[in-house]
Structure 1
Amino acid sequence: LHLDLPVRELVASGLFLALMNEGFRRTVKRLRACGASARSFRFCATAQFLTDWCVLLVLVHLTGGLSSPILAFFVFHAIIAAILLPPVGSYLHAAAGVFLVCVLAALEGIGLIQNRPVPSLWHVPHDEAVPVATALIAFATLIGGANHLAGSIARRLWARTREAMELKEKFAAEAARLRTLQEVASAVNSTLKLEDVLARVLDSATKMLRGKAASIRLLSDERTTLRLAAATGLSQAYLSKGDVEVEKSPLDMAALEGWAVQIPDVEASEALQYREEALREGIRAIICAPLLVRGRATGVLRLYCVHPRTFTKEEQTFLVAIASIGATAIENARAYQRLEQLESAKSRFVYQVAHELKAPVAAVRQMLSVLDSGLAGDLALPQRDLVGRCIRRAAELQATIDDLLALGSLKQRLPEGKLVPVLLREVLEKVMERVSTEAAEKGVEVRLKCSTPGLVVKADPGDMRTLFGNLLENAVKYTPPGGKVEFTATQEADRSVTIRCSDTGIGIPEEALPHLFEEFYRAPNAKQAHPGNGLGLALVKRVVDLYKGDIAVESKVGEGSTFTVRLPGG
C-alpha cells in the first residue's frame, strides 16, 4: 500500500512531541524535589495536555483532517484527562480538543489551510458543510461521552482510593499511638524515680499529639488544689503563677470527673483559672486528661498548643490512656519513695540503737573479762564455763554491733574526699593475716595470686578492708577442714580491677542467690553450719555500690563459691 504522506513533517512533529514530553518529565522531577504545591503540578499537567492537543491537531491536519485516523487519539486523551484531572478540568480539556478540531475543519473548509487527503476507512469531504458538521457532532459526542464515562468510573475509583488511604492513615496513626503507649508503659515502668516517670510521660504526650508543652498537676491531700509536679515547654513565669484551685477551674474540675476535656480556643473560653497568663504564654488550645488510679483521680495531665485546635476523639482517647499509664507509674514511684523513706528511717533507728549499745556491751565484756581472769575472786569450774559462754556471746553481739555501725556509716556517706591510691596486694595480705589463726586451726589453706604487681584502686583503705575482709572471713568460716580459699587479682584492658574470692566450702543454694546481699539474710545451709548475723555480705554489696563496681556470685552446693568483684582502676 503506497501512501503519499508528508513524512518529514510527521517525523518533525513526533520529535517535537517527544522533546516536549521530556521537558515536562524533568519539570515534574524538579517540582517533586523542591516540594512544590499541588497547584504547580496541575498547571504542569494542563500545559502538557494542551501541548499534546496542538501536536495532535497538526498530525490530524497532515493525515487528512476529519478523515484522519489520528482523531481517535483525541478520545484517548480525553479519557486520560478524565482520570487524572478534576471533573471541571477534564470537561474543559475535552471542550478544548473539540474546539481545536472545529477550528481546523473550518480553516480547511474555507480554504485558508489546504486539506491533505489520504486513503482511509472513511472519507469526510472537507468542503461540504453537512458531512463536516455531522462528523464534528459525532466527534464531540464521542469525546464528551468517553470523558463523562471515564470520569464517572475514575471518580468512583478515586473515592474508594481516598477511603482506603484515609483508613490506612487512620490505622497507621492508631498503630503509632499503640506503639507509643507500649513504649511509654515500658519506659515509665523501667524506673521508680518519680522525676524520670513524669518526664517520660510528658515527653511522649507532647511528641505524639504535636503539642507545644505539657504539664502534670497532682491533687493535694484536701483535693482542693492542683500542685505542679512536672512540666515541659513552659516558661518559669507561667509556672510560677501558683497552684490551680479546682473550684475556679471548670476545665480541671470536669477532667477530674474521669474524662478528657478540651478548650479549642483559650481566648474565647472562661473555663480556665489563669486565662490571661495562658494567653501571654502563647497558649491557644488546651486538652486535659485525668490521672486515674483504681478509678480515683489523683491529678491531671495537660497538653498545650500554640494555635486554636479541636482534638479528635482518637487523640482524646490516646491522652486518657497515656495519663492512665502515667498515673499508675506515678503511684508506684510514690510508693517506692515512701518505702525508701521507711528504709532510711529504719536504718537510722538501727544505727542509733547500735551506737547506744556499743558502750554498755563493751562494759559488759570488760566485766566478764575481769571475772574470767580471776581478779574478782576464784571461780568454780561451772562458773568459769558460764562466764566463758557469756564472753563468747558478748563477742558475737559486739561483732553484730560493729557491722551495724559500719553499715550505717556507709549508708550515710559518699566516698569523695577520702579517696587515696590503695595497693590491693597490701589490703589482701592484711585481711589474710586477720583470718590466718582461724584458717590454721581449721586446716584451711588460704592463698593469694596477684598476676599484675602494683594493682591500685582509688578508695578509702578502710572500705577495702571491710569489703575483702568480710569476703575472706565468710570463705574461711564456711569452708570445712582441709579445704582451700584463694584470692586472685587481675587488671582488665579497660584498667578496671577484678578480684575473685574462691572457696571449696558448703556452697549456696540457687534459691538463696537473689537474696544473698540483703541485710540479715542467711542461706538455710549457712544457718545450720555457723552462727552469724547476715550483715557481712550486705556490707560487701554496699561498698561495691559505693565505688560504682559490680559483684557476681557463682556457687554449687557442696562444691564451693566464687565471688567476683570488679572495681574501677586507680
Structure 2
Amino acid sequence: MKEELDAISQISQLIISDKGFEDVLRLMVNITAQVMKSNICSLMLLDEKKKVLEIKATQSVSEAYNKKPPIKLGEGVAGKVALEKKPMIIADVRNDPYYRNKEIAENEGLCSLVSLPLMVRGRIVGVLNLYTSEPRDFHEDDIKTLTTIANQAAVVIENYRLLMESEFVKEELETRKKIERAKGFLMAEYNINEEEAYRRIQRYSMNKQKSMKDVAEAVILAWEMKKKI
C-alpha cells in the first residue's frame, strides 16, 4: 500500500509542477504502470466534436499499440467505459467480445485490463487503461488507487482545456481589436462605411488565403508607415 500512496503523492507533485501538459500525462502513466506492475498503461482523451477516444499518453514502446485507431464513443471497452461512465475489468482481453484489438493483445502479450473513466463534474474527458501480461484480479485497493490517479489525470486535462480556452478567447479578442482598427483606417482612407471596410478585409482574406488577423495587421502596418513617411 505504501507504493501506491507514494505513487499518488508523486503524481500530486507533478500536477503542481511547471512541466508541460504532455510531459505530465506521460509521467503519470509511467508511474502508474510501475506501481501497478503493468505491461501497458495509457490515457485516452475524448474528442468531444468527433466523439472518439484517442491515445494521448502511454509508456508503451509498442508501435502497434501506440498507433491504434481512435475508438468511437460506445464502442470497444474504452468506448463503453466512456459512454457509461463506469469502470470495467476484463479478465482476458483476447477472449472478450467488447475488446477490439485482439491481434495487438496477442502480439504484445496482453491479458487482463482495467479501464476507468476520467471524469470532471460528471463530464467524461477520457479513459485510463491498465493492462497486465498475466491474469489478474484487481482488488478493491487496486481500484481505489487507480480511481485516485484517474481523478488526478482528469484535473490535469480539465485545467489544460480551460487554459487553452482562455488563450483562444484572448486571441479572439486581440483579432477583433485589430480588425476594428483596420476598418477605421480603411474608412478614413477610402471614405467608405464600416460594413464595406469589413467586406474588403474579408474578401482579401479569402482571395489571398490569409487570416482576417493577418490582413488587419497588414492594413495597420501600411497605415502607420504612410503616416511616418
TM-score between the two structures when normalised by the length of structure 1: 0.31
CA distance in 2, matches of 1:292, 1:331: 9
How far is 1:231 from its partner?
1.7
1:330 aligns with 2:193: no
CA distance in 1, matches of 2:109, 2:218: 59
Residue pairs, 1:366-445, within 5 angstroms: none
1:357 aligns with 2:184: no
Distance 1:278 1:246, change over 3 A: farther
How far is 1:217 from its partner?
1.1
CA distance in 2, matches of 1:241, 1:187: 27
CA distance in 2, matches of 1:361, 1:227: 47
CA distance in 2, matches of 1:262, 1:234: 23
SS of residue paired to 2:84: coil
CA distance in 1, matches of 2:112, 2:225: 71
For residues 290-340 of structure 1, the C-alpha deviation after alignment (integer angstroms, 9 at most, x for no partner) is: 111112111101011111111111101111110111011111123223434
Q: For the pair shown, which has the larger CA radius of gyration, 1 or 2?
A: 1
> Percent of aligned positions with the same letter in both sequences?
25
1:217 aligns with 2:44: yes
How far is 1:254 from its partner?
3.5
Following superposition, which runs of at least 4 residues in structure 1 exceed 4 angstroms of deviation? 341-355, 361-366
Aligned residues: 193
1:318 pairs, out of 129, 145, 148, with 145
| Alignment-mate amino acid for residue 283 of structure 1 | L
The answer (yes or no) to whether the contact 2:94–2:105 under 8 Å persists in 1 is no
CA distance in 1, matches of 2:144, 2:133: 21
1:258 pairs, out of 73, 85, 92, with 85
How far is 1:244 from its partner?
1.6
Residue pairs, 1:501-516, within 5 angstroms: none
CA distance in 1, matches of 2:83, 2:144: 15
CA distance in 1, matches of 2:49, 2:219: 41
| Alignment-mate amino acid for residue 357 of structure 1 | I
CA distance in 2, matches of 1:192, 1:202: 15
1:195 aligns with 2:22: yes
Distance 1:250 1:213, change over 3 A: closer
CA distance in 2, matches of 1:361, 1:182: 55
Higher relative contact order (CA 8 A, sep 6+): 2
| Alignment-mate amino acid for residue 360 of structure 1 | W
How far is 1:192 from its partner?
6.4
Residue in structure 2 matched with residue 246 of structure 1 by the alignment: 73
RMSD: 2.8
For residues 133-166 of structure 1, the C-alpha deviation after alignment (integer angstroms, 9 at most, x for no partner) is: xxxxxxxxxxxxxxxxxxxxxxxxxxxxxxxxxx
Q: Which sections of structure 2, spanning at least 5 residues, go unmatched?
A: 179-212
Residue in structure 1 matched with residue 33 of structure 2 by the alignment: 206
TM-score between the two structures when normalised by the length of structure 2: 0.71
